Chains A and B, each alone.
Chain A
Amino acid sequence: SQTIHQWPATLVQPVGSPLSLECTVEGTSNPNLYWYRQAAGRGLQLLFYSVGIGQISSEVPQNLSASRPQDRQFILSSKKLLLSDSGFYLCAWSVQMYTGELFFGEGSRLTVL
C-alpha cells in the first residue's frame, strides 16, 4: 500500500533562519507531488506541484522553493524565513494519471518567531 510521510511534524524557527521540510512517498512510482500551506485556520494555498523529477511549478512568488531530487521525494526550503511563513504545511501526492484523489501527509506546523 502507498504511504506518505513528512517531517518534522513541528518546527519553531526564528525570522531569517533557513527551512527544510521533507516529504517522501512509498509504494507508488512517478507520483504528482504537491506542497500546500494553511495559515491561521482553513483555506489551503497551493505552493508548488511537480509532475516529475526536476519539474517544479510554483504557484506563489515568495521566499520559498521546492525541489524533487528523487522520484518520490519532495523538499520545501527557504533561505530566510519570514513571520508570514508560519502555518501548517501539507505534502500530498496523486497518481500520475489523476483519478480525483489526493493523499495528504500528516502535516508540518511551522511557527516563525
Chain B
Amino acid sequence: LAKTTQPISMDSYEGQEVNITCSHNNIATNDYITWYQQFPSQGPRFIIQGYKTKVTNEVASLFIPADRKSSTLSLPRVSLSDTAVYYCLPKEYNQGGKLIFGQGTELSVKP
C-alpha cells in the first residue's frame, strides 16, 4: 500500500480557496486516490476520488499530475463548516480488503 504524506494542519479564512496536497510517491498503477472529510465525533465521509488529471464534483476538485505521485484536493470558497480533518487514501480499484488512513490534515477555517 502506498504511504501518504499530508500537512498536519492548515488555516484559512472564509471565502478563500484551500488546496491540500498529499504525496504518495510509491503509488501503484492500479491505485485510485480517494479523499475523506471527518468532523469531530463523526465517521469520515467520502468527498472525491480520481485516477489522474482533474475530477470535479459539487463539493471539491481533485488534481492529479501525470506522474500521480501527489494529488491536491481543492475546496472552493470555504466556509466555517469546512473546518474538519481531511484524509487522502490511495486505493487499488475493485479490490476489497484493508484501507489505511494516515494522520490527515486538520483544516481550520476562520471568519
Contact = CB atoms under 8 A, between A and B. Distances in A.
Interface of A: 32, 34, 36, 42-44, 46, 49, 51, 57, 59, 88, 90, 92, 94, 96-107, 109
Among B91, B95, B96, B101, the most chain A Cβ lie within 10 Å of the Cβ of B96
Interface stretch (B12-20, B44-52, B63-71): B44-52
Interface in B93-111: 93-104, 106
B45 A100 contact: no
B43 A107 contact: yes
A100 B42 contact: no
B106 A42 contact: yes
Given A101-B49, A104-B42, A107-B43, 18 more contacts: A36-B101, A42-B38, A46-B100, A46-B101, A49-B98, A49-B99, A51-B96, A57-B97, A57-B98, A94-B99, A96-B96, A97-B94, A98-B91, A98-B97, A99-B94, A100-B46, A102-B44, A105-B43
A96 to B, nearest CB: 6
Contacts, number: 71
A49 B36 CA distance: 19
Nearest to B50: A100
Interface string B29-60: 00010101010011111100100000000000
Contact of A106 (B34, B42, B49, B102): B42
Contacts of B101: 36, 43-44, 46
A59 B49 CA distance: 25
A104 B32 contact: no
Contacts of A102: 36, 44, 46, 99
